[in-house]
């Protein structure tokens, strides 16, 4: 799709790309986790548009950006060694990818 603009001696064609806005987001009760070495934390994400429009059958993938600081098995985060890193939570709903990043500190 494009728009033609004619300014006398100059003619311009502007291309427009329409991108669908994401309607949902991953909600978490917290933006960060603080754990001790050996401690665990259960992450419970919710894919939602509003508090009354929740997708209950969403499946999530959890990825530790530094497994020497913490590991993640399904939705259980376990502290391995002192440090900081991030947990990436992803899901796909109606062919749209959604993600959330959670800061993790291990003491």
Tokens found for residue 89: 């939570």
Cα torsion angle, 25, 29, 34, 35, sign: negative
Q: Which of 20-24, 30-34, 66-70, 90-94 has the lowest mean pLDDT?
A: 20-24
Predicted TM-score (pTM) of this structure: 0.76
The model's pLDDT over 55-86, given as tens digits with 9 standing for 90+, comes to 889 999 999 999 999 999 999 999 999 999 99
């Amino acid at each position: 799709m494009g728009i033609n603009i004619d300014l006398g001696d100059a003619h311009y064609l502007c291309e427009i790309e329409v991108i669908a806005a994401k309607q949902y987001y991953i909600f978490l009760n917290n933006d960060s986790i603080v754990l001790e070495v050996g401690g665990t934390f259960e992450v419970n994400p919710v894919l939602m548009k509003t508090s009354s429009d929740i997708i209950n059958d969403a499946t999530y993938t959890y990825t530790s950006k530094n497994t020497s600081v913490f590991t993640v098995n399904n939705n259980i985060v376990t502290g391995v060694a002192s440090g900081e890193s991030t947990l990436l939570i992803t899901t796909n709903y109606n062919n749209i990818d959604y993600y959330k990043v959670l800061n993790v500190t291990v003491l």
